[in-house]
Amino acid sequence: MSKTLQQFLAEQFSAGNIDQQLSDLLNAVADLSKNINDKVTHGALAGVLGFAGTDNVQGEHQKKLDIITNEVFIDGVEWTGSIAAMASEEMDHSLSTPAEFRRGKYLIMFDPLDGSSNIDINAPIGSIFSISEAPEGKVTDESFLKKGRSQVAAGYVMYSPQTILTLTVGHGVYMFTLNLGTGQYILTKENIRIPEQTQEFAINMSNMRHWEPPVQKYVKELLEGETGPLGKNFNMRWVAAMVAEVHRVLCRGGIFMYPRDNRDPSKPGKLRLMYEANPMAMLIEQAGGRATNGHEDILDLQPEKLHQRVAVFLGSKEEVDRVTSYHKN
């Protein structure tokens, strides 16, 4: 018999791995993702494509779906009784649970729609979420500034030919596929392990001239293949959505890189630490891989602000260790 997400969470509750509030929150995220999936699927038919004419706090142009999915997330979790506050890529500051709803014990951070550049071309996009425990008393932006190892759950939903929810509650990585007929997420992969070695990498090569020397050295060796110092050929992939890149790594190994570059020295990277790098790093480590910023493990970084950026190298341990050692040397 196929195991549903609800049954899986019930088992995790019985095993003492999660409490009722966390179970309720994860079920709510799964439910709201079905709403997002419906809007993504209908696309132009629902009038949700194109730019919204606004920018987010990072100065990035917002798509209509960025704003719509952010509202879906807020509406989907604020009533659960599981959260004290939430924060999002699309909001300047954190948002406390409205007074009409019971306050819960958790904080949730999310990128409601990862891969915005893929929306209008019908390529893979997704939602990323990170959950940690809230402090006692009033919650502010500073309440979210905790190291990634404090996360109690993390995951993503990928909207593609199949809609897949990938989840960890700190006891392995599990994938659930949405059955469009029944509306239920069904467990389809469990205890996922990333191969330590790989011959596949993902990076935006158009930025090569801007990279720091350690990254240029490493990618040059990858491209030299079996005639170079690594002694084997590598294939390159690039989907331009972190959800899709990490999903591929979890399914068959590889290394995904989004390094810092010299175009804007004030920015240590492109991806956001709190609601992109941290949840993905938790998934990768739970699957036996590694995730660093080139110098130290991402989950050990102390955040300084809500929308902090970071360089990311994650995936199969051998190659992440290699490129990290190049930075240290």
Q: Is 146 annotated as a binding residue?
A: no
Tokens (6 digits) for 7:
């049954």
Q: Is 170 annotated as a binding residue?
A: no
Q: Report yes or no: 106 and 135 within 8 Å, Cβ to Cβ.
A: no
Q: Is 113 annotated as a binding residue?
A: yes
One DSSP character per residue, 181-249 reads: TTTEEEEEE-S----S--SEEE--GGGGGGB-HHHHHHHHHHHHGGGSTT-S--EEE--S-HHHHHHHH
Q: Is 329 annotated as a binding residue?
A: no
What is the DSSP pairing of strand 95-96 with strand 83-88?
antiparallel
The amino acid sitting at 138 is K
Q: Where are the alpha helices (DSSP H) in 43-109?
A: 64-77
265: which residues sit within 8 A by CB, 6+ positions away? none
Q: Is 89 annotated as a binding residue?
A: yes
220: which residues sit within 8 A by CB, 6+ positions away? 228
Question: CA 82 to CA 93: how far, in whole Å?
Answer: 20
Q: Is 189 annotated as a binding residue?
A: no
Q: Is 150 annotated as a binding residue?
A: no
One DSSP character per residue, 100-149 reads: TS---SEEEEEEEEE-GGGGGGT--EEEEEEEEEPPSS---GGGG---GG
Tokens (6 digits) for 203:
């990076």
Q: Is 33 annotated as a binding residue?
A: no
289 — phi, psi (to 5°)? Answer: -95, -165
Question: CA 164 to CA 58: how far, in whole Å?
Answer: 28
Q: Is 16 annotated as a binding residue?
A: no
Q: Is 278 annotated as a binding residue?
A: no
315: which residues sit within 8 A by CB, 6+ positions away? 194, 198, 249, 253, 254, 255, 256, 284, 289, 290, 291
Annotated binding site for Mg(2+): 89, 111, 113-114, 276
Annotated binding site for substrate: 114-117, 204, 270
Annotated binding site: 89, 111, 113-117, 204, 270, 276
